Structure 1
Amino acid sequence: MTTIAGAGRDVLDMSFFQDPYAVYERLRNAGPVHPMRTPDGIDVWVITRYEEAKEALSDARFTKDFAGVPEIFAQQSTGISAHEGYTDILTKHMLFADPPDHTRLRELSAKAFTRRRVEALRPEIQQIVDGLLDRMAGQREVDLLRALSFPMSMAVTCRLLGIPPADEDAFRRWTETIFTTNDPARMNEAVRAVDEYLVGVVEAKRADPADDLITSLINARENGDRLSDRELVSTCALMFVAGYETTASMVGNAVLALLQNPAKLAELKQDPSLMPNAVDELLRFDGPVNVATLRSTATEVRIGDVTIPQGQFVLVSLISANRDGEKFPDPDRLDFTRPLGGSLAFGHGIHYCLGAPLSRVEIEVALSRLLARYPNLSLARQPSTLRWRNSLLVRGLSALPILLN
């Protein structure tokens, strides 16, 4: 991380992604909120301490409404347009809305995304994971992300939504591009492809309904209200893109954390009943979302002795908040007996992740089946050689080479 002389803003350079925790510890020690500049030159305010982060996630003075974003970009004169990398498919959903629009969109989506539907998927998730583990048999070394994490998450997400398995590879390519490219042309191409595909799927589900999430979203009603066509497609895209990338990355983060903490790995193998607690702690320890999605100040906001002016971008760091020693004693230690609750890995408040229960089931099944099938797995490379993705949003490895025995 470097500093602009005289500008009062730290610049998050590419080295930040490889070890954000060291940066966040220094920032937390200095205060709860800091003016920063992202690698692509956007000025933001980053909230790093737990209490302030939790409050900001549910504070109405921080707006999620996407309508004001282009104006803030223009005021910063960054040369970046909010419309170069985004269309309404990525913004006409609950994640970029404030009440009352958010309340309406979430209530309609929640009617389709039920706990019953999630639990009904558990046997199928186990079947998917077992099939992927079967394919790994006989290999000495695999990239766990490509062999298990991403194909599992893709298959589960497609099953949930009702997307045919034959289209999984195309969706994987599109979502990887959306999350990783810095090329506006490639971003737009991927976004358009997802948009056109989902429009076709929605039309097909209307003509031939099925027992899947897209059909349920089409049929969802609340006091006579329903999702518009654009809201429907955007909500499907949100559930697909958000659920797929974060869950897949978390499986990799969890396995790495366990392999770097052999005593905890041994404890978990000896007592598999610890798995639900372990998943909660692993999410706190190294969650898949670095910073929550973009917010901006609807009015002047004072945090501690810092005043954030109106019309400023604000990033709430979830992984920093989850390593705050004021909330979690000895925060850099993995502890499966730590009291449950309090983690901000899935956010907080009205924007708490609707897919959190499904993500937990996927992580639990993936870890349980992997450790049962390959109890002697180990890292195939030194941890210092592993590379993390250059993403402010997703905290995930580029690859995780492991030895199966």
Structure 2
Amino acid sequence: MMTALAQQPLPAHVPAELAMALPLFSRQVIYDNPQEVLIPAMHAELPPITYVTNIFPGDQPGWLLTKAEDVQAMLRDADNFTKNGMGKWAQNIGENWLVIPTEADPPIHTSYRKALNSHFAPQKMFAMKEQVRERARTLIHAFQDRGECDFIAEFSEKFPIFIVLDLLGLPQERMAQFLIWEKEMLHSNDWEVRGNAVRCVKNYLLEEIEARRQHPRDDYISKILTFEVEGRLWNDDEVLGHCFNLYIGGLDTVTSLLGNIFNYLASHPDKQNELRSDPSLIVLAVEEFLRAFAPVTAFRIATKVIEIHGQKIMPGEYVAFSSPVIGRDPAFYEDPQAVRFDRKAPHMSLGSGIHKCLGMHLARLELQIAVEEFVAALPEFRIKDGFKVPYFVGNILHVPDLHLQW
């Protein structure tokens, strides 16, 4: 039985047969690969819309859409689905700033993106290519002659963080502390732990922002202080909200994706060797990896009574977009469990509509370079003998520990 029925009293408009807790959101470590076991079972057994009692951190309820077409429609409908305060980051500590631009709605969202897009444009990110490659090579060089590595601790946790800290002008030597805060914010089910980490990050960012106000530097935080919206400079909450967005977005998603991707490559030497023998496949392979191994479940909040597949959703209720589930929708993708480098299928793993991921060009660059450098520097690698791969199931599906050998 893959689902447990909900125990708590349900709202009047929620039919009992649609309410359940799902193992995919249980926020614990399991040893069955969720992409191979839980997600296909969900597509086989669940209706297109389900009331999932443990979908939001803290085991809070919301609606899960399992069909890619329904999710696409929701992501393009900013009138009926808001992102305002969606992550409950500020609310959790009794404040009301928004994560910018992620939690903003039109029309101000449009103005924020106008100020931001040019800073994350493909050519800007491409200009960082050699810097990103150098970071990857330095990390790989430290273990390539050893014949084994602790992939998460020695590569995938550090690599994206190096890049984001470079971009923001934050000190690399604080990385260990940043990692602790990030884990407490993004992987804990305990709202007190999350709240304490939010406070720490907020206070730290405010210090850095103030330092730039006093002594501007040639870094991104200094640039944010010059951004305008609606004919005025961004206010203090907006500057903080944007720095916070880059902190949580830049420190975790690529790390989680890399763990999922390299677990797959280590288990499929034929796929590794395909990329090794023809590195020109890597750009398309990364798009397929984004479809198949997307880690994040994100949310919208209904602004009015909405009906989907005959089911009423009430204002204020959460509706989930689970990219790992959508990326394997058999109604949308032919043979979704197969990882095919020539698929060229669209995916929503970097979002869709107005909230498409601001850092998508940087994320793609990081993933492409990580794969390129690994297959170039190392012979065929595999999961270390005797190592059992753990999978963390929750709002960010990831491999918390991965040992490779070659």
Q: Tell me the TM-score normalized by structure 1.
A: 0.88
2:319 is matched with 314
The offset of 1:93, in angstroms, is: 1.9
Partner of 1:75: none
3-state SS in 1 of match to 2:391: coil
Cα distance in 2 for partners of 1:33, 1:27 equals 11
The one-letter code matched in structure 2 to 1:10 is M
Residues 24 and 48 in structure 1, CA contact (< 8 A), matched pair in contact too: no
SS at match of 1:94: coil
Match of 1:38 among 51, 54, 75: 54
Cα pair 2:6 2:53 within 8 Å, conserved: no
The alpha carbon displacement at 1:323 in A equals 0.8
Deviation at 1:389, TM superposition (A): 2.0
Q: CA deviation at 1:149?
A: 0.7
Give the conservation status (yes or no) of the 8 Å contact 2:93–2:199. no
Aligned 1:54-69 pairs, distance under 5 A: 54-59=72-77, 60-66=79-85
How far the C-alpha of 1:230 sits from its partner, in A, is 1.3
- With over 3 angstroms needed to count, the CA separation of the structure-2 counterparts of 1:321 and 1:186, relative to structure 1, is closer
For 1:271-282, list aligned pairs within 5 A.
271-282=278-289
The 3-state SS of whatever aligns with 2:319 is strand
* Aligned pairs (5 A) from 1:197-212: 197-212=204-219
CA distance, structure 2, for counterparts of residue 167 and residue 375 of structure 1: 33
1:259–1:265: 8 Å Cα contact kept in structure 2?
Answer: yes
Question: Aligned pair in 2 of structure 1 residues 88, 333: CA closer, same or farther (>3 Å)?
Answer: same
Runs of 4+ in 1 over 6 A off after TM superposition: none
Cross-structure match for 1:401: 403
Q: CA-to-partner distance for each residue in 1:271-324, whole Å, 9 max, x for gaps?
A: 0000100000011011122x12x2211112122232223331111121211111
Are the equivalent residues in 2 in contact too, given 1:143–1:399 (CA < 8 A)? Answer: yes
Q: Residue type of the partner of 2:223?
A: S
In structure 2, C-alpha distance between the alignment counterparts of 1:395 and 1:286, rounded to whole Å: 9
Structure 1 partner of 2:295: 288
C-alpha distance in 1 between matches for 2:123 and 2:223: 13
In 2, the alpha carbon distance for the partners of 1:85 and 1:261 equals 44
Please point out which of 351, 362, 371 is paired with 1:358. 362
Equivalent residue for 1:387, pick from 386, 390, 397: 390
The 3 A distance-change label for structure 1 pair 82 and 369 is closer
- 1:100-139 to structure 2, matched below 5 A, reads 100-139=107-146
Contact 2:20 2:53 in 1 (8 A): yes
Tell me the amino acid that sits aligned with residue 43 of structure 2.
Answer: R
Kindly indicate whether the alpha-carbon contact (under 8 Å) linking 2:288 and 2:339 is maintained by their aligned counterparts in 1: yes
Question: Equivalents in 2 of 1:305, 1:16: separation in Å?
Answer: 33
Question: 339, 342, 345: which is aligned to 2:344?
Answer: 339
Residues 92 and 235, structure 1, Cα contact 8 Å, conserved in 2: yes
CA contact (8 A) 2:266 2:272 kept: yes
Tell me, yes or no, if the aligned pair for 1:34 and 1:45 is still in contact at 8 Å.
yes
Instruction: Give me the CA root mean square deviation.
Output: 2.4
User: Is contact 1:125-1:362 (8 Å) kept?
Assistant: yes
Is the 8 Å Cα contact of residues 86 and 188 (structure 1) preserved in structure 2?
A: no
Q: String of CA shifts for 1:82-133, please: whole Å, max 9, x gaps.
A: 84467446x3422112111322222222243333331121111111111111
Q: 3-state SS of the aligned residue for 1:231?
A: helix
Matched, 1:144 2:151: yes
Report the CA distance between 1:379 and its aligned residue.
0.7
* Range 370-379 or range 13-22, more displaced: 13-22
Q: 1:223, CA displacement in angstroms?
A: 5.8
For the Cα contact (< 8 Å) 1:257–1:282, is it kept in 2? Answer: no
2:303 corresponds to: 298
- State which drifts further: 56-65 or 24-33: 24-33
Greater helix share, 1 or 2? 1
**For residues 310 and 335 of structure 1, do their structure 2 counterparts lie closer, same or farther at Cα, with a shift above 3 Å needed?**
same
Q: Percent identity?
A: 26
Distance verdict in 2 for CA 1:35–1:231, change over 3 Å: same
Contact 2:27 2:187 in 1 (8 A): no
Alignment correspondent of 1:254:
261
CA contact (8 A) 1:92 1:230 kept: no
**Amino acid paired to 1:271:** D
* Structure 1 residue identity aligned to 2:81: F
My pick for the range that moved more, 306-315 or 21-30, is 21-30
Asked if structure 1 preserves the Cα contact closer than 8 Å seen for 2:392 and 2:398, the reply is: yes
What amino acid is the match of 2:329? D
Partner of 1:374: 378
Preserved CA contact (<8 Å) 1:33 1:48: yes
Query: Counterpart in 2 of 1:98?
Result: 105
Q: Secondary structure at the match of 2:333?
A: coil
Which residue of structure 2 aligns with residue 50 of structure 1? 68
- The equivalent residue for 1:74 is none
- For 1:380, the aligned partner's letter is K
CA distance in 1, matches of 2:316, 2:139: 47
* Aligned equivalent of 1:349: 353
- Note the residue ranges of structure 1 that are not aligned, 5 or more in a row: 71-80
- Structure 1 counterpart of 2:195: 188
What is the identity, as a one-letter code, of the residue corresponding to 1:334? V
Give how far 1:382 is off: 6.2
State the Cα distance separating 1:26 from its structure 2 match. 4.1
Q: Secondary structure at the match of 2:64?
A: strand
CA displacement, residues 125-167 of structure 1 (integer Å, 9 cap, x when unaligned): 1111111112113433322011111111111010011112222
1:25 aligns with one of 34, 40, 50 = 40
